[in-house]
A and B are shown apart, each in its own frame.
Chain A
Amino acid sequence: MTSPNRPRSFQEVILRLQNYWAAQGCAILQPYDMEVGAGTFHPATTLRALGARPWAAAYVQPSRRPADGRYGENPNRLQHYYQYQVIIKPSPPNLQDLYLGSLRAIGLDPMLHDVRFVEDDWESPTLGAWGLGWEVWCDGMEVSQFTYFQQVGGYDCRPVSGELTYGLERLAMYVLGVEHVMDMPFNDPASAIALTYGDIFRQTEQEYSRWNFDQADTGTLFQHFKDAEAECARILNAAAEDKAGRRIPMAHPAYDQCIKASHIFNLLDARGVISVTERQAYIGRVRALAKGCADLFLTTDAAGEAA
């Protein structure tokens, strides 16, 4: 890790990944503007993995896992963190090599490190999705998830998308040699106003941890869950034609409600008000929404054959 090529800050790791994947021909998208648990929830992955139209996108996605909050004290755990997500359909034959190139781009030379593809199949019960692949280990640490999507929303993926997910904080901490996430330089440490990850996020981690665990009003959340579920169902059941007779199925607005329901479920789970038996039922309800959204998306232009 004494490579001169080493990035100096969290943001430089992100910028290098952006540049690398842009150079590989990916559309560099921006984060989805809703609370999600992982980069996979971005419609650019979930919905675009469906249908036959080729697709290549990369983006940073802020992700929220309320139950993982530790008031900013744990060196590795955060309730709000960043994932870097790459999705390419159909998966190119050299996807592993492309991935290894991205490690080189952020200063991890595979000739000096021990990079391994260790079996780890991916499944998202809430999205009705699964795939086969690996977690990628670098010197014994998991740095990415590498998945070939087989099903989304209960549908077989044809063609198959290749999906890469990097846990950005953990990866950057390793590249930068930082022990506690809050100590990680966010911008260049030589900047006039040098900021660490902690300068930006310590306080928010505390605030959200408190809210997530103790304060979030569960009555309101239960109501929000029901509302999102009802609105999603309403959109899915709406006629495909608008007033003017144009065919405009509303797959994305419906999917927004599915994402919302999923996040509210995570909040309720963190508040500890969902019992083990109820848990399965809630996951099933979100999956039903995701399935409905997948059904609808497949009727739209974005899912169709490339023109």
Chain B
Amino acid sequence: MPDLLIELFSEEIPARMQSRARADLKRLITDGLVEAGLTYGSAGVFSTPRRLTLTVEGLSANSPTLREERKGPRVDAPEKAIEGFLRSTGLTRDQLETRDDKKGQVYFATVEKPGRPAAEIVAEVLDAAIRNFPWPKSMRWGAGSIRWVRPLHSILCILSDESGASVVPLTIDGITANGSTRGHRFMSPDAFSVSNFEDYATRLRRAHVMLGMAEREAAIRQEAESLAFARGWEIVSDEGLLSEVAGLVEWPVPLMGVIEERFLDLPPEVLQTSMKEHQKFFSARNPKTGRIEGFVTVANIATEDDGATILAGNQRVLAARLSDAAFFWENDLRMAKAGMEVWAEGLKSVTFQSKLGSQADRVQRIAALAREIAPLVGADSDQAEEAAKLAKLDLRSEMVGEFPELQGIMGRYYARAAGHADAVADAVRDHYSPLGPSDAVPAAPVSVAVALADKIDMLTGFWAIDEKPTGSKDPFALRRAALGVIRLILTNNENFSLLDPIRDCLGYHDYSFELRRHLEHPNDGVLEKILAQGAASWRREATDPDVIDLLTFLHDRLKVHLRDQGIRHDIIDAVLAQPGNDDLVPVVNRATALNGMLATEDGQNLTQGLKRAGNILSQAEQQDGVEYSFGADVKFAETDAERALFSALDQAEPAISDAVKREDFPAAMTAIAALRMPIDAFFEAVQVNTDAQIVRRNRLNLLSRIREAGRQIADFTRIEG
């Protein structure tokens, strides 16, 4: 059983592409080998900036020989037919076998497809893998024709066993596979040959290459932490940065530097972002001051001067970067203290979306909406409006111009500098949140009001101009906005009807379109009329298709969200079919309670009973052309089971409606669950469709009481199973 070692040695592979490339290499090669009939024990894959490496252990030396039996023509068939059969099998007549068949004597051939040596298969599979490698972006170089992520320089491809290693013969676009590689670009540039994977990894290590990504990450983390520890600092953990940096080096050498005193007053987010984005530095925090005071840069080389030159250079670059940042910060603070009016003016010239107007238009809408939402979420209306008006101003600041990812964060600093209350400043920072399914959800009422207004304006705006997400296309991240609305409401347990703001906002957008349209024709007198009517008169109806469609979109997002939390989609559907479904908190509470009940045996049986009642009832209603909904009377009851059901319903009905009114859904579930036994007993003892018409009608009307009891909880016809 030989082992296979492949290394594709190239110019620097982008760090962000390495992880997928490792998986792709492993998949393409091992799939290809297996498809060709080889088997293997295990496979491992590695990457550095300059190499992609695959090791396959316990590969079969040959693919198996395959035998196939083929039936030919009859022995007395025309000569031509027999010759054709011989040609197609590649055999001679004396190699054929004659057997008796129903139709007489027939020729049979046994065709043998010989196994092929592993080397031959490996060469084919690797050739195909290189030519079809799914790099996100690939290129040509020189006068060659193959594509790779960056120029491919050499291919190491050997099969090795106890007796030694042999190179797999393979040439692709002028590159011939061999049994050697190179070490670190500067520290060990010479070529050396290897005999198997273990030898390869050991020699690479000696040649200043750490092959494993995890090994490099661990080395960086450990050394960075111990450098920080020596100063009493701690590294600000950043896994994304760690894996990026580990993808940029073959021989990581972390070096620690100190941030100059003059920059320490910059906000920590600014220091961190500037160091990370521009320099790929880790930040080091001093726990005593809480400030970021140092950095760790990761060099790709150990030098004679222990990195002194490298560190000095990095320090110098950082100083230039932070000088720029300090310059932006000071200018921005000056603007903030002057009231940020220039920024507000500037937002008028920033287009949000051509049909939805400028950022200033949007801010105006969000402010009005935040004001409307504020009392519903326990926020102060004035503060909510104030925060909304400040929320987008930092987009005009120099710092956010340089680092767009600091939007909101800088806005909070500037709002505070301008003397606004903390609740307002915090809302400026937090109104973008939550950005994803795991992002933190703001809890402060003013923040919640502005965050909801921001997202609802966004959703209604794009619905009003018919730019809804379709399939995988969601260029304005509207699904994220919808999930944001849902999480804001649920996490903060806000009893909040979505219908009102949706109707108002869609109407407001209509109003704005009309205004803008008629602003172009100022003399026709329509403008005054629109203004006089006011935005409120444009409120859309609850039955408006856009209103319903947007609510459905939010419900769909809610389903995805709840499914992730283990609530079945049919349960959500059953609950959403109830009136009042634009208020998400009771919807979710009801679904959660129902989900809990249906997980029990009682719940399942009850559902069966409810469904059975419903089915019998609807069949009878269809047949008789009437609706049975009223007038069941216990005096027509013939059995104890019937009478017991009457009395159980008499107790359960008020208990259910009372609990639903209080939105105490667990209590409602308990109340309806009490019907399980009487319903079961009823169906056990009683034939509903009896000949006695009065008794039958009475029983059907009794069933309708069951149906009504169920309907108070959910639409059980939608429950599966």
Instruction: Give chain A nearest CB distance to B658 CB in angstroms.
Output: 60
Tell me which of A110, A117, A159 has the highest count of chain B C-beta atoms within 10 A of its own C-beta: A117
* Residues A114 and B310 in contact in the complex (CB < 8 Å), given A159-B143, A160-B141, A276-B351: yes
Q: List B contacts of A96 (CB < 8 A).
A: 11
- Pairwise interchain contact A112-B304, C-beta atoms closer than 8 A: yes
Instruction: Give chain A nearest CB distance to B392 CB in angstroms.
Output: 17
Tell me which of A1, A134, A139 has the highest count of chain B C-beta atoms within 10 A of its own C-beta: A139
- Pairwise interchain contact B139-A132, C-beta atoms closer than 8 A: yes
- Pairwise interchain contact A139-B142, C-beta atoms closer than 8 A: no
- Pairwise interchain contact B141-A91, C-beta atoms closer than 8 A: yes
Chain A 110-143 per-residue mask, 1 if CB under 8 angstroms from chain B, else 0 = 1111111111010000000001111000111100
Does A174 have its Cβ within 8 Å of any Cβ on chain B? yes
- Pairwise interchain contact B303-A174, C-beta atoms closer than 8 A: no
- Pairwise interchain contact A90-B279, C-beta atoms closer than 8 A: no
Chain A 63-92 per-residue mask, 1 if CB under 8 angstroms from chain B, else 0 = 000000000000110000000000000111
A94 (CB) vs chain B CBs: closest residue = B153
- Pairwise interchain contact A90-B313, C-beta atoms closer than 8 A: no
Instruction: Give chain A nearest CB distance to B23 CB in angstroms.
Output: 19
Bound CA–CA A140/B296 (angstroms):
12
Cβ-defined partner of A112 (8 Å) among B140, B143, B303: B303
Does B671 have its Cβ within 8 Å of any Cβ on chain A? no
Chain A 158-184 per-residue mask, 1 if CB under 8 angstroms from chain B, else 0 = 111010000000000010000100000
Cβ-defined partner of A160 (8 Å) among B12, B140, B304, B317: B140
Bound CA–CA A206/B301 (angstroms):
42
Tell me which of A114, A131, A158 has the highest count of chain B C-beta atoms within 10 A of its own C-beta: A114
Q: Which residues of B contact A (CB under 8 A)?
A: 11-12, 14-16, 49, 137-143, 149-151, 153, 186-187, 248, 279, 281, 297, 299-301, 303-305, 307, 309-310, 312-314, 316-318, 320, 323, 351
- Pairwise interchain contact B139-A150, C-beta atoms closer than 8 A: yes
Tell me which of B143, B279, B297, B300 has the highest count of chain A C-beta atoms within 10 A of its own C-beta: B143
Q: List B contacts of A157 (CB < 8 A).
A: 140
- Pairwise interchain contact A113-B248, C-beta atoms closer than 8 A: no
Q: List A contacts of B320 (CB < 8 A).
A: 75-76
Instruction: Give chain B nearest CB distance to A69 CB in angstroms.
Output: 16
- Pairwise interchain contact A148-B15, C-beta atoms closer than 8 A: no
- Pairwise interchain contact A150-B140, C-beta atoms closer than 8 A: yes
Cβ-defined partner of B137 (8 Å) among A114, A116, A132: A132
Cβ-defined partner of B299 (8 Å) among A111, A114, A141, A277: A114
The 9 closest A-B pairs by CB, nearest first: A139-B313, A119-B14, A117-B12, A140-B314, A159-B143, A114-B299, A90-B143, A132-B139, A90-B142
- Pairwise interchain contact B139-A139, C-beta atoms closer than 8 A: no
Does A93 have its Cβ within 8 Å of any Cβ on chain B? yes
B309 (CB) vs chain A CBs: closest residue = A112
* Residues A117 and B137 in contact in the complex (CB < 8 Å), given A112-B305, A159-B142: no
Q: List A contacts of B314 (CB < 8 A).
A: 114, 139-140
A96 (CB) vs chain B CBs: closest residue = B11
- Pairwise interchain contact B142-A91, C-beta atoms closer than 8 A: yes
Instruction: Give chain A nearest CB distance to B308 CB in angstroms.
Output: 9
Tell me which of A76, A113, A121, A138 has the highest count of chain B C-beta atoms within 10 A of its own C-beta: A113
Dominant SS at the B interface?
loop
- Pairwise interchain contact B139-A148, C-beta atoms closer than 8 A: yes
Instruction: Give chain B nearest CB distance to A181 CB in angstroms.
Output: 11
- Pairwise interchain contact A92-B303, C-beta atoms closer than 8 A: no
Q: List A contacts of B151 (CB < 8 A).
A: 91, 93, 148
Instruction: Give chain B nearest CB distance to A34 CB in angstroms.
Output: 30
- Pairwise interchain contact A116-B300, C-beta atoms closer than 8 A: yes
* Residues A114 and B16 in contact in the complex (CB < 8 Å), given A76-B320, A139-B314, A140-B318: no
B174 (CB) vs chain A CBs: closest residue = A93
Instruction: Give chain A nearest CB distance to B184 CB in angstroms.
Output: 11
11 A-B pairs whose Cβ atoms sit less than 8 Å apart in the complex: A90-B142, A90-B143, A111-B187, A112-B304, A112-B309, A119-B12, A133-B150, A139-B309, A139-B314, A140-B281, A150-B139
* Residues A140 and B16 in contact in the complex (CB < 8 Å), given A93-B153, A112-B303, A276-B351: no
Cβ-defined partner of A132 (8 Å) among B150, B281, B309, B312: B150
Instruction: Give chain A nearest CB distance to B138 CB in angstroms.
Output: 8
* Residues A160 and B142 in contact in the complex (CB < 8 Å), given A75-B320, A118-B248: yes
Instruction: Give chain B nearest CB distance to A176 CB in angstroms.
Output: 12
Bound CA–CA A1/B316 (angstroms):
13
Q: List B contacts of A119 (CB < 8 A).
A: 12, 14-16
- Pairwise interchain contact B140-A113, C-beta atoms closer than 8 A: no
Q: List B contacts of A90 (CB < 8 A).
A: 141-143
A167-206, CB < 8 A from B: 174, 179
Q: List A contacts of B248 (CB < 8 A).
A: 116, 118
Bound CA–CA A214/B295 (angstroms):
41
- Pairwise interchain contact A111-B313, C-beta atoms closer than 8 A: no
Bound CA–CA A162/B187 (angstroms):
26
Q: List B contacts of A116 (CB < 8 A).
A: 12, 248, 300
Q: List B contacts of A134 (CB < 8 A).
A: 12
- Pairwise interchain contact B304-A111, C-beta atoms closer than 8 A: yes
- Pairwise interchain contact B142-A93, C-beta atoms closer than 8 A: yes
A43-79, CB < 8 A from B: 75-76
- Pairwise interchain contact A1-B309, C-beta atoms closer than 8 A: yes
Q: List B contacts of A133 (CB < 8 A).
A: 150
Bound CA–CA A92/B150 (angstroms):
13
Q: List A contacts of B297 (CB < 8 A).
A: 140
Bound CA–CA A207/B297 (angstroms):
40
Q: List A contacts of B309 (CB < 8 A).
A: 1, 112-113, 139
Bound CA–CA A272/B140 (angstroms):
39
Bound CA–CA A91/B150 (angstroms):
12
Instruction: Give chain B nearest CB distance to A51 CB in angstroms.
Output: 13
Bound CA–CA A116/B48 (angstroms):
13
